A and B are shown apart, each in its own frame.
Chain A
């Protein structure tokens, strides 16, 4: 398939679906709702934002209080395509799909969301900071979940893969019959859990007394930008909120850097120091997610580093934690 045919495919999708895709804007690549196929950025550069807010809205109403009951509020969305999702962001979406496997709100929305992946990876500057060493060649598509995947070849042409029934239906509805099927083979490759997941967990687990956390706490502003921009940060608050229509129970994005995140009755906070919050953020990604799913809790997109006002670098910190001399 050449670029023109690919643009036709994108245009067909735009005619029938809400489409979010990476576009170039003011020198940055940013994911936005698009109107024209020509807007799509095909370079594979890492967008500064993620698809997270489509899958997991920053605020979502779960219940309305009606009379004396909490009435479940499941909202339907228009069928939506997440287009041009790079492999790291597909991994992040695969993680969310597993974490929210039993969540009615997520699953309801997810039914109407299609993922169309695209090869590319990370822009050159960020390559050296990669946390994981993921090569596109290593059967990577068998261990991420996607509906359609587009591989851009060196000659500028594209080949297509389907990764689900939804994907096949989508392709065929656009009269595309030339594609290869890829069967999802589970999160963990046949050869076992990615050694980098194991290594990073060893580096982070039980490192709470490591000097690194105190050092980072001297510069970290606890602004929470890293959580907002992270495709795998999914923690939330659930709260009753008064609106003009009455009481709603809603959930909102949270961040472990926020002051009340761990506050219990009486005001005690388990995370009462910034060093503890930093350690907590890292244990979520490098300990808890691997413990539960043997999967990436961080996909090494490096967005957290890119937005951090004080330049905290997750890859460098993992190196510091794993170097023997620094271990106390």
Chain B
């Protein structure tokens, strides 16, 4: 019987320091070839003695047979330790878990708050070279030092319609004004007939969705990726349950209807 809790060793091929408290780990399992994931899925990631936590996969699913990336922001003991690793060190992971984002079959708007771009990056990477759809990115952060992929976002901006705004300061390369990501939704013309994928702190969901509604975005095209405490990853341990569903197994990506039905927009 397959042991769903079995963590496997993955070697750090490359480590990129994104900012003071965030690293990108490019990883490879011993048996990387058979590893597959969908954009929006996550791994349970751990280190001996430090436990596990869920981390979104942020690399291109099409490159899964060679490597995968995890972007790790320090938020507790485990993630602090993960931030101190070096190339050729090992991390331990199991997964992938969750449903991932729906298939991108039309234009795509990605809305991120804080480090919310981390799970969205995988969708972006998968679709960035497509000629049949347009991609728009709207990103809000508190401060410049909190931006996870500052250099990368500048590169993305050259290729796609990317707007970034900071709450507490201005950043000439992106925006002359301060504000929240909702301001970007208000002030930008949104792509027509687009899927909208949102990831950010829970406090952001309602205001973002309210703005999207004002712009007549169809409810059925809005999806949100959630963060919850998780232990098992397979819908048993109950930590991540919301209403009738489990964020780890039935999510982490849910359509707007789910948010409404479970009073998650209050």
Contacts and interface: CB of A to CB of B under 8 A. Distances in A.
Interface of A: 62-63, 65, 68-70, 72, 99-100, 102-104, 107, 205-206, 208-209, 234-240, 242, 247, 249, 251, 254, 256, 260-266, 268, 270, 280, 283-284, 287-288, 291-292
The 5 closest A-B pairs by CB, nearest first: A265-B75, A235-B238, A65-B48, A291-B244, A238-B231
Contact of A205 (B3, B237, B244, B246): B244
Contact of B7 (A70, A208, A288): A70
Contacts of A280: 241
Contacts of B75: 265-266
18 contacts: A63-B6, A63-B7, A70-B6, A70-B7, A104-B5, A107-B1, A206-B262, A234-B236, A236-B232, A238-B231, A238-B237, A240-B46, A240-B48, A240-B50, A263-B229, A264-B229, A265-B53, A284-B241
B48 A264 contact: no
B227 A264 contact: yes
Interface residues of B, number: 42
Given A70-B7, A102-B1, A205 B229 contact: no
Contact of B76 (A63, A102, A234, A265): A265
Contacts of A287: 243-244
Contacts of B202: 268, 270
Interface of B: 1-7, 9, 46, 48-53, 73, 75-76, 79, 90, 92, 202, 227-229, 231-232, 234-239, 241-246, 261-263
A288 B5 contact: no
Contacts of B244: 205, 283, 287-288, 291
A270 B228 contact: yes
B122 to A, nearest CB: 19
Contacts of B245: 288, 291
B228 A68 contact: no
Contacts, number: 110
Contact of B5 (A62, A107, A256, A291): A62
Contacts of B263: 206, 208-209
Contacts of A283: 241, 243-244
- Secondary structure at the A interface, as helix, strand, loop or mixed, is mixed
A70 B44 CA distance: 14
Contacts of B52: 238, 240
Given A239-B51, A287-B244, A68 B231 contact: no
Contacts of B5: 62-63, 104, 238, 249
Nearest to B1: A104
Contacts of B238: 234-235, 254, 256, 284
A206 B261 CA distance: 7
A288 B50 CA distance: 31
Contacts of A99: 236
B239 A262 contact: yes
B21 to A, nearest CB: 11
A262 B228 contact: yes
Contacts of B7: 63, 70, 249
Contacts of B4: 102-104
Nearest to A292: B235
Contacts of B79: 265
A164 to B, nearest CB: 19
Contacts of B262: 206
B9 A261 contact: no
Contacts of B46: 240
A237 B228 contact: no
Contacts of B231: 236-238, 251
Given A208-B263, A236-B231, A256-B238, 15 more contacts: A70-B48, A102-B4, A103-B4, A103-B236, A104-B2, A236-B237, A238-B52, A238-B231, A240-B49, A249-B7, A262-B229, A264-B227, A270-B202, A288-B244, A288-B245
